[in-house]
Structures are given as C-alpha cells and as structure tokens.
Amino acid sequence: MLSFKNPRDPENAELTRLIKKWVRLKFALEESVSILVSEHPCLDDNCPMHQTVIAVFFEETTKQWTIHKPLTFIRQRDVESLEV
C-alpha cells in the first residue's frame, strides 16, 4: 500500500502534533489527557487506502474516532466535525 509522507516530516511528527492540538482545542482537553493519532490500512471498500484513527484516553474511558482519510489529508475542519 502506498503511504503518504511529507519529505520535510517523513514520520508525520509535526502533523500528528498539530492534529493533537486541534483535538485538545475542540474538546477543551487538559495536557494530562493522552491522545493517540495513528494511520492504518483501510479494509472498508468505501474508504481510501488509509484511514486515520484518533483516540483520547480519559481516566475511566477511551473515546475513538476514525476518519476515512490518510493522515496527511487530515485538516482542522475534519477534527472540528468530530462529535462526542
């Protein structure tokens, strides 16, 4: 499978940091709340080759969203459209 990488940020570290920032702003999360952003191959026929999973780890629960786009295609408007 093709993986989309920015030559200036091949590990997508800067983009991952930015997505985590958008999630913190969207849900007013404190720095102590852990957020995981990862890209996975998509098995759904209606999905592109990769999907992005965002997980927020609260003390007693975990909330997870899947965005059917590769990590490099995620924009702030995608995070802003997430619902609790």
Summarised one tens digit per residue, pLDDT across range 4-54 is 667 787 788 899 999 999 999 999 999 999 999 999 888 777 776 889 999
Q: Is 73 part of any domain?
A: yes
Q: Is 9 part of any domain?
A: no
Range of the domain at 37: 32-84
Q: Is 11 part of any domain?
A: no
pTM of the model: 0.85
Spatial separation of the C-alpha atoms in residues 60 and 48, rounded to whole Å: 33
Q: Is 12 part of any domain?
A: no
Spatial separation of the C-alpha atoms in residues 49 and 2, rounded to whole Å: 7
Q: Is 7 part of any domain?
A: no
Q: Is 71 part of any domain?
A: yes
| Cβ proximity of 22 and 79 under 8 Å | yes
Number of domains present in the structure of the chain: 1
Q: Is 16 part of any domain?
A: no
Q: Is 64 part of any domain?
A: yes
